[in-house]
Structure 1
Amino acid sequence: MSMQPMSWGGPAGPNLVSIGNIHATTHHVMTPAGTWPIADINVTSIDQTSTTSRTPTWAIVLAVVLVWFFLLSLLFLLVRETRVQGFISVTVTTIQGRSYTEQVPVIDPLGRADVFNRVTYLQSLIGQERFRLGR
């Protein structure tokens, strides 16, 4: 008996995309609330992140310290730092009315884009399966 790593692929093969606890294969979506055929679900996402922009502390300190030597040091006050915080709610709803919502935390703009790209890919898998089944 050999010890081989197993991917949690569920009933229809390996995972193609994972969004938090939502995992999708070619034919099924697995969540903690259950496993459903991928053609029988809808996926929606709600962006609940906030973006703030401010002048970082180091820029203010350098502007104050160096203002006596160079007036150009006031340009440090033009430096901006952007922060993204919050989460994206991803909801899987079945045609039977069951649903599961995953709140994926986001800490930077790239993470936000990654979650939306994963949701878009999952929606394309749903469309491909519906087309294959003629729905």
Structure 2
Amino acid sequence: MNPYPSPDGDPWQQQNQQQPDPSAWNPADGYGAIEPYGAPTGGYAPVPAGPTPGGANEPVLSTIGDIAITQNTVITPGGRFPIRGTVWTVTDMTRTERSTPVWAVIVAILVFWWTCLLGLLFLLVKEEKTSGHIQVTVQGHGHYHAASIPASHRGLSAQINQQVNYARSLAA
């Protein structure tokens, strides 16, 4: 029994109560409202597929995280701005560790029981694990944007540096 009944009574006592119309629901009335893109209260507008502000339909030449680059424009979630005169920065915060995997230690112990020194060869197996992220920032014309790219493999840092150097060449 509920010691604090609601003013409308218990749910089983509410008969013929009309359900609210979902189309008349106002997102400002409740928590957790989902806003579509371009809503006046926030959210990022998607990049239009038509011609760019320069008048030409420029293809995207490269993407670095959530930064897209065309011949004359940088496109970020915060907006578009000219690429000429922008400053690009790369900060590599990755770390690569070499270690013996767990399976190799277990096999070395099991094989060591049957053949003494042959099991120790499994301890020579090494595994590389890369962790961290690479941060790319672009600033210019009153805009600043930082993209953080998680490191998935060892060569990703070199690939991102090549893409940023290409963007720098377009910005010059």
On whether the aligned pair clears a TM of 0.5, the verdict is yes
Distance change (3 Å), C-alpha of 1:108 and 1:79: same
Q: TM-score, normalised by structure 1?
A: 0.79
- Gaps in structure 2 of 5+ consecutive residues: 1-47
Alignment of 1:39-58 (within 5 A): 39-58=84-103
User: Could you list the runs of 4 or more consecutive aligned residues of structure 1 that deviate by over 4 angstroms after TM superposition?
Assistant: 7-10
Of 91, 107, 121, the residue aligned with 2:137 is: 91
Question: Is residue 101 of structure 1 aligned with residue 146 of structure 2?
Answer: yes
- The count of residues paired between Structure 1 and Structure 2 equals 120
Quote the Cα distance in structure 1 between the aligned partners of 2:95 and 2:113.
37
The equivalent of 1:81 in structure 2 is 127
Kindly provide the amino acid, as one letter, of the partner of residue 68 in structure 2: H
- Gaps in structure 1 of 5+ consecutive residues: 1-6, 128-135
Give how far 1:72 is off. Answer: 1.9
* Cα displacement string for residues 5-41 of structure 1 (whole angstroms, at most 9, x for unaligned residues): xx95862501000011100011111111221111120
Give how far 1:58 is off. Answer: 1.0
Identity percentage over the alignment? 38
Higher radius of gyration, 1 or 2: 2
**Which is strand-richer, 1 or 2?**
1
**Which is helix-richer, 1 or 2?**
1
Higher relative contact order (CA 8 A, sep 6+): 1
Question: Is residue 125 of structure 1 aligned with residue 170 of structure 2?
Answer: yes
Root-mean-square deviation (Å): 2.0
Of 45, 70, 76, the residue aligned with 1:31 is: 76
